[in-house]
Amino acid sequence: MIHSLTPTLNKETGNAHFSYTKIQDKYATQNTQSYVVNYLVNNKSYSVEVHIIDVNLSKLIKQRGKDVLSTIMSASMMCQKFTVIVVGALFTNIVNTAPIVALENYLTNTMFKELNCTPNLLLLRDYVPKTKFESGNKYRYILNDVVMTFEVNSAWLSIQDYCSALSKKYKSRTLKTLDAAKELTIVEFSLNDIKAYQEQIINLFNQVVSKQSLSIIMHNDDYFYHLKNYLGSNFKFYGFIDTDNQLVAFMPIIMHDATYCEVHYIGYDAKYNNIYKLYQNILLQAVKFGIENKMERINLGHTSLEAKAILGAKATVLSHAYKTKGLIAKHMINQIVNYIDAAYNDEWKERNPFK
């Protein structure tokens, strides 16, 4: 459900018609304002999310400790307003297909001015490189961001059918992984369950987030509760419970339609990861969900490419455009680019684990 906190604003730009509306109660974060822009170009309608992130530089430095970013920032810099704007999906992996030229002009010349925000870092997600932007915009590109997608065989009726389709080596590995988690109980959480386990959920989530090279979004503790409340039956949340009734891992799934879903932010306890092979079992639980719910595709995200390739997922290479203002923004985008490059250049390769 989309609510308008301010009157919807409409603008005509050539043959394109635009409006934007604030999204409320979907993403529970402390520092992000989210909007959806709807527009019509040549009688075809499009929509794209726009996220405005107010970054607390002082808090970011405290979280990261002493590094290159902290050395280039003076005390006065840390007090300055720093804004990151992401055009496209920020909290999910939906790929944008909307035409960008008219939209970019509208955002810069109209929407951002009306919202009184000037981006230090503007990131346009999932757009094809060499798009003909207006001259002088000085965009650069991230060209090798990878998203892994698992295609579900319609003949499979259970996770056992998936295992049977694997070649001998991969089947043996998968059965050992499943056996490692045999003492765990995997439970679909209701809205009340998410609330009851909230403290454990946010602890596991923060363990994963703390490993990221750069994290600028500040999620509320009730982030998953709000998302479940907003999306209802299109949001599934699975908890991995040990014999002491402790939550050791979780896996949320967003169902975008009847045939396509994605694994959302996961969480797991690092000290139990090797014992229960938690990360691998989260991926296998996603496959199980896809099979049982007649999915065609499961979006597994951008990280741990090798593990997902072994599962049978295939890579799609995406590109993003960005421009920066100031030294801090340039360093921040370099962190993101280096992270993506490291994942892409890591020792992984496309696999075919099936017979």
Residue 2 counted as domain residue: no
- 214 and 87 within one domain: no
Q: Is 349 helix (H, G, I), strand (E, B) or coil?
A: coil
Q: Which residues contact 305 (CB under 8 A, 6 or more apart)?
A: 146, 148, 315, 343, 344, 346, 348
Residue 130 counted as domain residue: yes
Instruction: List alpha helices for the chain, DSSP H.
Output: 57-64, 68-71, 75-78, 101-106, 112-114, 159-165, 168-180, 191-196, 198-209, 223-231, 270-276, 278-292, 305-311, 327-345
- 135 and 54 within one domain: yes
CATH number, domain of 167, equals 3.40.630.30
Q: How many CA atoms lie within 13 A of 263 on its CB side?
A: 28
- 159 and 289 within one domain: yes
Residue type, 241: I
- 248 and 118 within one domain: no
Q: Comparing C-alpha atoms, which of 307, 349, 315, 316 is closest to residue 170?
A: 307
Residue 50 counted as domain residue: yes
Task: Note whether 42 and 14 are within 8 A (CB).
Answer: no
Residue 15 counted as domain residue: yes
**Cα–Cα distance, 50 to 35 (Å, whole number):** 5
* Token pair in block for residue 234: 């299109």
Residue 163 counted as domain residue: yes
Mean pLDDT by 10 residues, the chain (355 residues): 30 64 78 89 85 78 49 50 87 74 80 91 73 57 86 97 97 97 97 96 92 74 92 96 96 96 95 96 98 97 90 89 81 74 69 93
**Cα–Cα distance, 31 to 28 (Å, whole number):** 9
Q: How many CA atoms lie within 13 A of 53 on its CB side?
A: 25
- 162 and 242 within one domain: yes
* Token pair in block for residue 13: 């730009």
- 121 and 18 within one domain: yes
Q: Which residues contact 306 (CB under 8 A, 6 or more apart)?
A: 346, 347, 348, 349
- Burial code of 53-88, b = ≥16 C-beta within 10 A, e = fewer? bebbbeebbeeeeeeebeeebeeeebeeebbbbbbb
Q: How many CA atoms lie within 13 A of 170 on its CB side?
A: 19
Residue type, 223: Y
- 21 and 138 within one domain: yes
pLDDT at position 50 is 92
Q: Which residue range is the domain that position 236 belongs to? A: 153-295
**Cα–Cα distance, 211 to 221 (Å, whole number):** 18
Residue 306 counted as domain residue: no
pLDDT at position 228 is 94
Q: Is 151 helix (H, G, I), strand (E, B) or coil?
A: strand
Q: Is 135 helix (H, G, I), strand (E, B) or coil?
A: coil
- 188 and 240 within one domain: yes
Kindly list the distances between the CA atom of residue 182 and the CA atoms of 157, 212, 236, 243, 275, in Å, as whole numbers in the listed order. 21, 29, 22, 11, 11
**Cα–Cα distance, 10 to 21 (Å, whole number):** 10
- 92 and 163 within one domain: no
Angle made by CA atoms 296, 188, 176, in degrees to the nearest 5:
70
Residue 135 counted as domain residue: yes
Ramachandran category for residue 130: left, alpha or beta (phi over 0 → left; psi -120 to 50 → alpha):
left
Give how many domains the chain has, as a whole number.
2
- 27 and 138 within one domain: yes
Residue 308 counted as domain residue: no
- 192 and 87 within one domain: no
- 267 and 164 within one domain: yes
